[in-house]
Structure 1
Amino acid sequence: MDRKNSCAFLVVLLTLSSVKCLENLSNMNIMQAMASTNVGAQKFASWAEEALIASLLRGTVAYTVFVFNDTAFNTAPVEDRQIINSISGNEAKREYLETFILQAERNTDSFPGKSSTATSLNGRTLFIERRRITFTDLGGTYGTEGVFMNGAMVDTTFRCSNGYIHRLVQPPLPVSSKNAYLWVTQPDLPSINTVLFKEMLIRLQQDAQFYNDAVPAMAERKTLTLFLPTQTALSAIPVTKREALTGRLLSQYIKMHYLPDNAVFTSYLEHQESYQTADTQTRAIFMRSNEKMLVRSGGVTAQITQGNITVQNGVIHLIDRMLGYVYFNVREQINDMCTTGGLSTTCKFKALIDQATPDISTLVSQNGVNMFVPTDNAIQMLMTYRGIDMNQNRTMMDYVLRLCILKDADLEVSRFNNNYDIRQRRTTRYNDFLALVYNDRNDTWVNNGNVRGRIVRPDIDCTNNGRIQLIDAVPGVPWMDIPTTIEYDEYLLYTWNDIKATGLNNYLRDMSFNMNNMPLPSKTFKDNTYGQNVFGTTQNPFSTQYPNLYPNTQYPNNPYPNNQNPNIQYPSNQYPSSNQGTCGTQYSPCQFTFFVPNGTATYNYGLTGFGQTIRRDSARYRYILRRLIIPNQVISLERMPTFGNSQRYTSDTGEEIMIKKETENTVRLLWGSMSARVIMWDIGATNGIVHIIDNILSDTSDLSRDISGSTATSSSIFVISIVSCLWIVLQRLEY
């Protein structure tokens, strides 16, 4: 019954596409419609024949059926397909199918309110949720209304002669006939062990008052959501601490584990959506992190490891930590994550702390310490791609550790407003450098020491008011060069393809990065561009930002079916690496500040007539992009102190551009009469820094601009790099 959180996030994305409200198949009964190409549910229909319920769906009595079509089944997670395929025998198949059949005509509008329930043909409870699904990115917030059944979204409703078919985007999993309490005492899934959780419930029975206050509701509530700590999670608690939980305190912790009157499925949850727990003083906050779903309750953040187990009175989510119970200080928690952290182990960071100077060890051990802790994988990246071993560099070790430790007020990111423009700053122990924390793309990020990292496990509370934020980067030490930094940002994919088409990826490359040519790690997102320029695709790649904006007017019948200029604008590798050249050398790479347009800016630029023309002239387009590069400087906008004044710089083309910091959170890049807002800044790289902007600074004058002498700056930097390299070699020869 494992519902992957990545699948849940996919459902959220699917809701952003156009959803057919109703398709009329009144000339067919339900069985005929399911087998038709319109619905495409041949597997569901064949099971209905085998289970001997097809005659019901061909008859004149009205039914409503929630079905998955064959495509939804074939693209479902492997675990889900295995569960459904394991249903064998006609009786078992009949039980499954009847779970999703209602003996009534029910279109989606007939389900009342935001949340409701329906009773299926075999008496199972189905949980219906109607809500506005929103998605926030650098271009804004977008959304659509969705209807969900047990967390599976309805994408199309079909009106048949004898009822309705609601087609789902994913196959629903079986619903248990047990309530949440009975399921905990005897799980339907043999792989689930609940012995330690049951022991706590039995221990609570010693005091009837507290037991009755916390436990019976799991069976008696008509609707609830239960967070069930796994056997592994409870085993990780030291035995003496676990057995010390009794009475009022244990009752309070148990109540932090369920939401009364709400059956909440992960598929439609928004980042930082919260609900009241049975403990009236505590709310449960859901958070997304790199397509994982987290829940925070009672000061503890846990990951949902197996979610959306539907029972008769709600839904159960298995979690990897007990909520509410904090029993380690910061140092002990780091040590524990080293041994039990799985993919988020912290052994390498623990080793750094073990070697730290006495004053740093004291800072880590003091009351109220808040700190960032990089995962082992983040530290390993530096060794793999840059050859950096911080254990052998005490200066760097001290620098990183002090950036990780906060000096001022505590940091609780789960209480942030889910708004990109809301940013919080915290002072670190390294020269009072500021760490910038913000929400973006259904994740929480930190920018610290000019390195951006995702907070993969936020708000790990510790005793003595300590707190840890687990991150996937090492503050102060980037592992990627500028081109790789751009390539690994999902919202820069189409800009990245343009950069490659103009050869700038080679120009911006750091020759000292990944000298051993190690394979780069897998991306955390799917590249749906397939390496194409935005106008080489057959559909709008930013449909969530520009839904049906140009359906039949500007681009009727898609005049650009595959690639408008297959052998002129973007042929296969028109600009090989040897053609454009790399700035600098392995020993002396060039440094850049690059204001990179996001995908929306690239798309908008291509909608303009002059933008389309310029994009077909790769040398001219390269010039436009180089206008956004400041060579030989690494400019941190966070540390730029002046508000309201513009600072002038010479771009890579030799033109003057200006940076204007209007407020603490508002920075603009200016060229002539044009401006672009910097929407994300100080993304450090091995050879400079990247700032993301919302506009390409270009106008019609660029159509006729003389670009023949635009390589002077680039050439001079390259010459300087060569001279510097030769000087270093000569100095070494003298010794």
Structure 2
Amino acid sequence: MVTRNNIRAGQHMIHLLDRALDIQWRYTALAYPSKHNPQNLEYQFYRKLMRFLQTSPQEDTEYNYQTQVMVPLNSEGVTFFLPSDEALGRVPSEKLSQLVGDPAMLLKVLTLHIIPGRVLYTSMVNHNEGFITQMDSGKLIFRKNNNRESVYVTGSLKGGRPVTARVSPADVGVINGVVHQIDAILGFVYKSAIEEIQDDPNTRNFDQLLTRVRADLRNDLGAASGVTIFIPSNEALIAVNTVYPNYINNQSLINMVMEFSMLQPNSRLSLTDYNGGYEAYISAVSRHNGRYIKAYSQGNDTWVEGGYVRARVVKPDIGVTNGVVHQIDAVFGIPTRDLPYSIFCEDWLEQTYIQMSYVGLTEYMRDPTLTANQRCVFRARGEDDRLTSGGSVPNTGLANSQNSGQSSSSSSSNYYYTSSKDSLTLLTSSPT
């Protein structure tokens, strides 16, 4: 990734990168998981799945391991998604045995990790761009967040449920293509919605609500099928404490959050395939008094709105045995930012925020009861193209900013904001 570009040095030009441009690995994508990699590792995906199918009886047709796995992974121009050992380690042994016991399904799962004839580095694909996998076993879609914090891929077999995996590390060049390591097995769904919430370290805080929510909602989440739920991240639930410090003991509030988070039974909202704009959206009905959940795209992100709260979709379309789970970065029904900070968090309202600050509206409209806003995260437009969290303004409420010595309308000095194309600067003198 180019972190800083167009630095002039006399007659020359310099561009800064976030990693060294290594020489490609001298082995093929097929050899990479079998100790022919920089760490000299033999991946469990190779040892337990690929090698098992290789040594199993093969059909004398084109649908066998030799034709559909070995040939493309040794051919020129291939993209291979390799699950990490941790990904296989999380799969219960009995579930893995069921997969291994079905060679036809195992072959489909293996080929879902292979895109033949394309060398796809993460910097060279678009957000929500999809590709057909080897043997036409299914489709794989890339997801790239606007702030570049991560890249995900979602893979689903034909007629099967999707699995979303994080790509890390990405873009390992091999002699005939590229290898991406992922943190899940694509196309292999083995957890229920409740198990997914409990197992993912980014959503475990939501599990506390499941033990306190109304019994019928908890039972519906454990239904055999038809479940769609939006799960707030741990950070989003922590931010709720700034608004309702004792929310975990508020039964009606917990019920409301759960109702907004769950769609009506047997409803589904697929986000991976959706790539519309802000004006075009899809929607579905939540469990809370028939209120709608709306989804749309803006930039390289997918957003959902529910209960007057907008949330960024962190990880969409996580297939589970009884439905689908979406991870989001806010809690439906509970705003965690006051009005001026919400305006500041929108790139397209930057000039509005500056003009408001000139006349003191940003301080006048702060919520004095809010100890801290949930920080916004966006990509700065400056030359460094850095990630910025919270920007350059205090994200505390009015009462807190006065106590901490930060700028407020009661300070002895007058504070103004001045803007340029790439920055927002706080001054302690009148603007000229």
- Paired with 1:529 and 1:177, the residues of 2 have a C-alpha distance of 36
Deviation at 1:284, TM superposition (A): 0.9
Deviation at 1:303, TM superposition (A): 1.1
TM-score, reference length from structure 1: 0.48
Is 1:228 aligned with 2:201?
no
Percent of pairs identical after alignment? 25
Which ranges in structure 2 are unaligned for 5 or more consecutive residues? 157-161, 385-406, 413-418, 422-429
Deviation at 1:263, TM superposition (A): 0.4
Alignment map for 1:339-350 (pairs within 5 Å): 341=201, 344=202, 346-350=203-207
SS at match of 1:332: helix
- Number of the residue aligned with 1:454: 312
- Number of the residue aligned with 1:177: 26
> Do the aligned partners of residues 387 and 432 (structure 1) sit closer, same or farther apart at CA in structure 2, a change above 3 Å counting?
closer
Deviation at 1:496, TM superposition (A): 2.1
Assess if the C-alpha contact under 8 Å between 2:309 and 2:334 holds in 1. Answer: yes
The letter for the 2-side match of 1:233 is A
- Number of the residue aligned with 1:239: 93
Is 1:577 aligned with 2:426?
no
- Paired with 1:448 and 1:431, the residues of 2 have a C-alpha distance of 12
Match among 195, 209, 217 for residue 44 of structure 2: 195
Assess if the C-alpha contact under 8 Å between 2:236 and 2:331 holds in 1. Answer: yes
Which ranges in structure 1 are unaligned for 5 or more consecutive residues? 1-6, 20-35, 41-70, 85-171, 531-574, 581-598, 604-616, 619-735
Match among 135, 139, 142 for residue 286 of structure 1: 142
Assess if the C-alpha contact under 8 Å between 2:337 and 2:374 holds in 1. Answer: no
What is the number of equivalent residue pairs in this alignment?
Answer: 378
Assess if the C-alpha contact under 8 Å between 1:306 and 1:317 holds in 2. Answer: yes
Deviation at 1:273, TM superposition (A): 0.7
> Do the aligned partners of residues 282 and 196 (structure 1) sit closer, same or farther apart at CA in structure 2, a change above 3 Å counting?
closer
Question: Highest CA radius of gyration, 1 or 2?
Answer: 1
> Do the aligned partners of residues 213 and 191 (structure 1) sit closer, same or farther apart at CA in structure 2, a change above 3 Å counting?
closer
Match among 372, 375, 380 for residue 233 of structure 2: 375
Computed over aligned residues only, the root mean square deviation of the Cα atoms, in angstroms, reads: 2.8
The letter for the 1-side match of 2:48 is E
Indicate the structure whose relative CO is greater, using CA pairs within 8 Å and at least 6 residues apart: 2
SS at match of 2:17: coil
> Do the aligned partners of residues 297 and 320 (structure 1) sit closer, same or farther apart at CA in structure 2, a change above 3 Å counting?
same
Match among 212, 237, 260 for residue 355 of structure 1: 212
- Paired with 1:510 and 1:192, the residues of 2 have a C-alpha distance of 54
- Paired with 2:154 and 2:41, the residues of 1 have a C-alpha distance of 22
Flag as ranges the 4+ runs of structure 1 deviating above 6 A.
none
- Paired with 1:232 and 1:381, the residues of 2 have a C-alpha distance of 30
- Paired with 1:372 and 1:447, the residues of 2 have a C-alpha distance of 11
- Paired with 2:117 and 2:127, the residues of 1 have a C-alpha distance of 21
The letter for the 2-side match of 1:201 is M
Deviation at 1:207, TM superposition (A): 2.7
- Paired with 1:451 and 1:373, the residues of 2 have a C-alpha distance of 14
Match among 447, 468, 486 for residue 343 of structure 2: 486
Match among 253, 269, 287 for residue 109 of structure 2: 253
Alignment map for 1:151-550 (pairs within 5 Å): 172-190=21-39, 194-205=43-54, 206-209=56-59, 210-246=64-100, 247-289=103-145, 290-291=147-148, 292-298=150-156, 299-337=162-200, 341=201, 344=202, 346-366=203-223, 367-383=225-241, 385-407=242-264, 409-464=267-322, 466-514=323-371, 521=375, 523-526=377-380, 528=382
TM-score, reference length from structure 2: 0.81
- Paired with 1:39 and 1:211, the residues of 2 have a C-alpha distance of 52
SS at match of 1:184: coil
> Do the aligned partners of residues 500 and 173 (structure 1) sit closer, same or farther apart at CA in structure 2, a change above 3 Å counting?
farther
Deviation at 1:176, TM superposition (A): 1.2
- Paired with 2:270 and 2:58, the residues of 1 have a C-alpha distance of 36
Assess if the C-alpha contact under 8 Å between 1:284 and 1:295 holds in 2. Answer: yes
- Paired with 1:357 and 1:326, the residues of 2 have a C-alpha distance of 27
Deviation at 1:251, TM superposition (A): 0.7
Deviation at 1:522, TM superposition (A): 7.0
